[in-house]
Structure formats: structure tokens, C-alpha cells
Amino acid sequence: MAETTVNMRDRLAKMAIDGLVATAVTIGYKLDLFKALAEISSPENPTTPKLVAEKAHCKERYVAEWLAVMATGNIIEVSPEEKFWIKPENVHDLTVDNQGLSQCMYLPCFLKPYENLLEVFRENGPPGLKYSDYNDFYDVMNRESKVFHKEHFIKDFLPSVSPSLPDELTKGCKMVLDVGCGSGFHSALLAEAFPASNFTGIDVTLEAILAANQQRVDEGLTFENLAFIKMDGGDMDADWTEKYDLVLIVDACHDQMRPDKCLKEIHRVLKPDGIFAMLEIKGTSNIYEDKKKYGDIATSILCSSMFHCLPVGSNSEDALCLGAMWGSKRAIKLLNECGFTNVLAMNKTLLLLLVVGISAVLADNNYGITCQFCKVQLASMTETIQGNPDMMSQMGDSASQGCDQIPNKDMRKACRETLDDNFPLFLQKFLEEPDTSAADFCKQMGYCF
């Protein structure tokens, strides 16, 4: 027992040190201290606090203390003469936006309303916090969005929503709505790539809309097919009924107080043949399973949720209080309740893609339709006929009927072609290895990577 107590004590102390060092990293990044150090030093020619301070236009004494923290924290290097440098292999990660830096940047942002958060926890305290309590949040979130999505959002995400979607947006005359647009990164990315279509980003906070418009100015974005509007996703313009061909929510559903109202409004503003695509965190809707499956990643997301997503999503007496790790089961249930049927959740990574047409869905985040359909069919087979091989002969017809329910003709065709060419192989592999997961089957057959 004593050993366990000491181990936990040591672990807590190490956590505190790491947290302080991570916060100090944000100071260096925000003030360009890492860039200054990288520009004027090398392993062969380390530099002094004075020169770093001059380069970064900061006070020498504070820079000296920061350099000491970074060196003893094993972020940068120090010589016996107390001169400093960054290992060449670490320069990029300390000076250019990336996932690690983004995670560090959230720390001061999340702790800004710390005392108010304590009151929110208390039984008689307020229900939640306001978005404005996190005054740097949109800048940090925008940086993270660029890190995660700039390269893949158009190239990979859009085709996974619908194989023909990029071509349709290129041809134009498409109306696209980004709900909870934040600082507008995704809307601007799409508007620049598809000048013949029209894009609107809405957000409930004025700070987000101001940031979105300022970003256009800062980056010299002059395209005229994009507008940002301050508007509550749960109470959109009455004239927008059946206006939009495509509606997106990118990581912005779980922190709404009443996401059900927003989803019902999205259903209203979609055209009858429109598509709704929602990108969310892929939780299991079970903490035990999240811990087992995702480990430290689940911890990171749950911390973000506790410090930000849950408080802002709980700030009314009638809030649903979802949190970031609400998971696919709860998400699908809510979508069904809001009028979206035949919802399909997928993707082996931590991001969950829900693509919802007015009546049905078929898509995948990382892979093409063949991979997605392979996984879905095998998972369905496993659940339906485990221990009942006599039902095998019935599976082909029922799966084919499932293809007929897909409203998008391109996706319906791809579904049928996948069945015609590969369903016998599905059955054979299932019979040979019934305990293997659907995802593993599809990898073995070369449909998924």
C-alpha cells in the first residue's frame, strides 16, 4: 500500500512539472522565442539569453529564465557555458503549427476561467460558462483545424461524403452552409477551392464571426462567394427552408447547449436531395471502452471537454450537456430523433464521420466506398448470422436491397458493383475466419488501408 501511495505521489509531481513546462512552451511559441533561438543558434554556435531577447524584442531577464526552464525540461539544449540551441531535428516541431503545439496552446486558454469553472461544478453554481469566457479559444481552435484538416479536408473528406461532391461543387450553383463555423477556416478553404459555389458560415458568437472576417483581411482572401453571419444554428433564418445542397458541422455539435434544435433546423434548411455531413470525435459512448480503445487520446479529449466543451454546452437549464466524447451511439440516436434516418457512422480513426441525407447515408472518412461497404456488410453479417450459417444464403438478397435504399445514384451504383464483384468473397472469408473483425477482413481483401 505504501509503495502505491508513493508511486501516485511521484506521478502527480511529474504531471505538475510536465504541465508547467507545457505552459512555458506556449510562452515561447506565442512570443516567437523558439523562432528567435532557432535563427541565431546551432549546435556548433549556441547563443546567449541576451541575443535571443534582442532578436525576439523581449526582456533579457525573463528570456533567461524561460531558456532555463526549456533546457532543464529537455525541450532545448544548454552548454556548460550556459549557452542555448535547439536540436536541428526539433526546430520544425517547435516553430511551426503542429498537433503537439496545439495541445499545449489549449492549456492557458482552458485555465482562463478556472475560478468560474469551480463554481460551475458546485451544486448551487451556474449551469455552465459562456464562449466569451475563453477569449483565445477561436485562435487556438483555428490553428488546430489547420493542422488537422488543411491537407485532407478537400482531398479526402469531401469525396468520402459523396464521390461526386467535388465535381458538383466545381461545376457550381451549389449552396453550402457551415454551422458553427468558428473562425471560418473550413468555409474559407472550400470557398477558395470552389469559386462557382456559394458558402455561408454561421456561428452563435460575435467573437467567432469577427475572427472569421478578420482572417479574410489578414490572409488577403478576396473571393466573393463566402459570407459569415452571426446566427444561432438552432434558430436559423425562416427563409432558408430547403435552401442548401450541403450542410456541414465540423467538430461543433457536441458543445452546443441544444444540438437537437440545431439538427432539426439543419433538416429544415436542407434541400430534399441535400446532404448533411457531421465530423465529430469518435467515442464509444462508454468510458471503459474509450479508455481501453483510445488510452491517452481519450484522456486528452475528455480533459478538453471538461474544461471547455461541457461548460459551454451546459450553459442553460435545458441544455443536453453532451461533452466531446458523447460517442457514436448517442450521436446516431440524436440524429434519428431529429429526423435523419439510416445514419451511418464510420472510420477507424478518432474522428467520426456522419453523413446524412434526408433519407439515407453511405460514406467514409478515409477510404472509398468499397472499403466502407466492405466493413459495413461484414459487421452486419457478424451481428446477424453469428452461429447461424443457414442464413448465409439469404444475405446476398438483403444486402442488395440495402443498396437500393441509397438516394445518391453514384453511391448506389458503387454499392451494387461492390456486391456483385465481392460478396461471394465476403461469405468465404467469413466462413473461414468468423472471429476476425470486419475491419480486419477488409484489410486482408485489400479494400482498406
- What CATH code is carried by the domain that includes residue 437? 1.10.225
Q: pLDDT, tens digit, for every residue of 240-270?
A: 999 999 999 988 999 999 999 999 999 999 9
Angstrom distance (rounded) from CA 66 to CA 217: 33
Same domain as 374, residue 319: no
Q: pLDDT, tens digit, for every residue of 89-141?
A: 999 999 998 888 988 999 999 999 999 999 999 999 999 999 889 877 878 88
- As a whole number of angstroms, the distance between CA 94 and CA 73 comes to 14
- Contacts of residue 366, defined as CB under 8 A and 6 or more positions apart, other chains included, come to 156, 160, 347, 348, 349, 449
Is 255 domain-assigned?
A: yes
State whether 247 and 337 are in the same domain. Answer: yes
Residue 231: which of 262, 255, 254, 276 has the closest Cα? 262
185 and 278 in a common domain? yes
Same domain flag for 347 and 377: no
- Look at residue 364 in the predicted model and tell me its pLDDT: 29
> Is there a domain that residue 122 lies in?
no
109 assigned to some structural domain: no
Could you tell me if 374 and 342 lie in one domain? Answer: no
CA distance 282 to 396: 30
Do 26 and 83 lie in a common domain?
yes
Same domain, 342 and 416: no
Last residue of a domain, one of 334, 357, 380: 357
Query: Where is the domain boundary, 357, 378, 413?
Result: 357
Q: Where are the beta strands (DSSP E) in 270-410?
A: 270-281, 344-346, 351-357
Last residue of a domain, one of 96, 117, 151: 96
Query: Which pairs with CB-CB distance under 8 Å and at least 24 residues apart come from 379-382?
Result: 379/438, 381/426, 381/430, 381/438, 382/430, 382/434, 382/438
> Could you give the CA distance from residue 196 to residue 171 in angstroms, rounded to a whole number?
6
Number of domains in the chain: 3
**β-pair type (344-346, 270-281):** unpaired
Q: What is this structure's pTM?
A: 0.73
Query: What pLDDT does 308 receive?
Result: 95
Do the beta carbons of residue 305 and residue 324 sit within 8 Å? yes
Distance, in Å, from the CA atom of 148 to the CA atom of 356, rounded to the nearest integer, reads 23
Look at residue 395 and tell me whether its pLDDT is greater than 60: no
Helix H or strand E segment including 77? strand 77-78
The answer to whether position 146 is within a domain reads yes
Same domain, 137 and 242: yes
Segments forming the whole domain that contains residue 291 = 131-357
Cell of 331: 450521436
